[in-house]
Amino acid sequence: MTPSRSSRTCSSADLALALIVAAGVACAPARPPSPSPLLARPFPIQAAPSYPGALFHWIDSLAGTSNGKTIPVHRQQYVDLYGAFTVEDQAALEAFIAARADDLRRQETAAERDGPSVKFSALLGMFCAASTVDDALAQARKQLSQASYDGLAGALSHFAPKYARIWNDGAIPKAFLDRARADRSIPRLEDLLLRIVAFYDVDPRSAPPPHLALVPVPPGGGTHAEAIGPVLLLEIREGDTLADEASVIVHETSHFLWKLVSDDRQERLLAVARRLDETPPKVVPLLGEAVPTALGQGIADKMFRPRGWSLGHPWYHIPEVDLLAKRIFPLVQVTLQDGKTFDDRFVEQVYERK
């Protein structure tokens, strides 16, 4: 878990990380094997436990800087295992928060120069995509100030020994993958994704395949999933099966497929929506989440967990998205069954149902 060996500067955080590796307390393989496909059709979806992503996401949750809905359960787990945050814990979290803020400021400055849009979860994606914490830190070093880098590396070194107990060599995501790969319903999920690809009318093989970065989460507070480019962070509870995660896989994969829609087509569809929308807009801001929710928490969850599925249960944590997703669910269902696409007419029908 040491920073890049190409660095000529040895900070106190670098030394701390080196000592952790020497002591063998990080409990992560030096170079984990490449992820293997969980699903092969209609495009490969890789899946593997992600220690770098899990460690970062856990500290992100403890710091309250995560996008996740499961911050309370991660914090409660920490208190149950280790008690209240110590002075040293607080200092490490403050350094982590400062590094997060520095990364966002740098992105905002670049965006002001007509650069790429700000990505709140860019650092998380970097760790989820990396094979090791070393690799992720080497990438982070390129875009953080030395002080921020030292703070981030120091926070990781501080919390890694405590997280080793929770990570437990990736036991929870590994067990999930074993169950999922043996699940006879995989062809059904692949067939559903094939229809969803046709719905978005894109070629998923034109981009790097999605990579599911699996991380553990305590029970009792649901799960969080997040698409960060081709990386899909997916929290796994002990005992979760493919049926439990099918809706989330479909939801996040839908975000991946939407990003493959050409800019021209996206603008045309948004123009149709703006023409039909009210002032102030009521539907346009919600479409980006309502459609994936109707596909995942609507169609996929009804298919794989029919006994627990209900329109009366919350599908999404934002009420407006939840309501729109349920209203357009029958339309999305019929559109998939008929082999039709996410086109102008589909958008018009969305507004007929709002």
Tokens coding 63: 């710091």
List, for residues 247-259, the tens digit of each pLDDT value: 999 999 999 999 9
Nearest CA-CA partner of 320 in 270, 280, 261, 349: 280
pLDDT of residue 109: 79
Residue 138 pLDDT: 95
pLDDT of residue 114: 67
Digit-coded pLDDT (tens) for 205-234: 999 888 999 999 999 888 999 888 889 999
Tokens for 57?
């996401």
Beta strand 211-216 with 231-236 is parallel
- Residue 115: predicted pLDDT: 64
Largest CA distance in the chain: 63
Residue 14 pLDDT exceeds 60: no
Cα–Cα distance, 134 to 103 (Å, whole number): 18
pLDDT attached to residue 82: 97
Residue 1 pLDDT: 36
- pLDDT at 25 (0 to 100): 36
Digit-coded pLDDT (tens) for 89-126: 999 999 999 999 998 888 887 777 766 665 778 899 99
The residue among 18 and 325 whose pLDDT is bigger is: 325
Report the predicted TM-score, pTM, of the whole model to 2 decimal places.
0.84
| Band (7; pLDDT cuts 50, 70, 90) | very low
What pLDDT does residue 118 have? 59
For 328, what's the count of Cα atoms within 13 Å in the CB-facing half-sphere? 29
Arithmetic mean of pLDDT, 165-182: 96
Average pLDDT, the chain: 88
Question: What pLDDT is attached to residue 8?
Answer: 30
Tell whether the model's pLDDT for residue 32 goes beyond 60.
no
Element (H, E) at 213: strand 211-216
The mean pLDDT of 145-153, rounded to a whole number, is: 96
Give the whole-number percent of the chain exceeding pLDDT 70: 88
pLDDT-based confidence at 281, cuts 50/70/90?
A: confident
Q: Region 292-299: what's the mean pLDDT? A: 98
Q: Tokens representing 214?
A: 């699996």
CB 136 within 8 A of CB 153: no
Measured CA to CA, the distance from residue 54 to residue 283 in angstroms comes to 34
Mean pLDDT of all residues in 320-347: 96
Mean local confidence (pLDDT), 16-41: 51
Report the percent of the chain where pLDDT is more than 90. 75
Residue 135, pLDDT > 90, answer: yes
Q: Please check whether residue 128 is in contact with residue 53, taking contact to mean a CB–CB distance below 8 angstroms.
A: yes
* Alpha-carbon span 212 to 225, nearest angstrom: 10
- Sheet with 225-228: strands ordered across: 36-39, 45-49, 211-216, 231-236, 225-228
On the question of pLDDT at 179 being above 60, the answer is yes
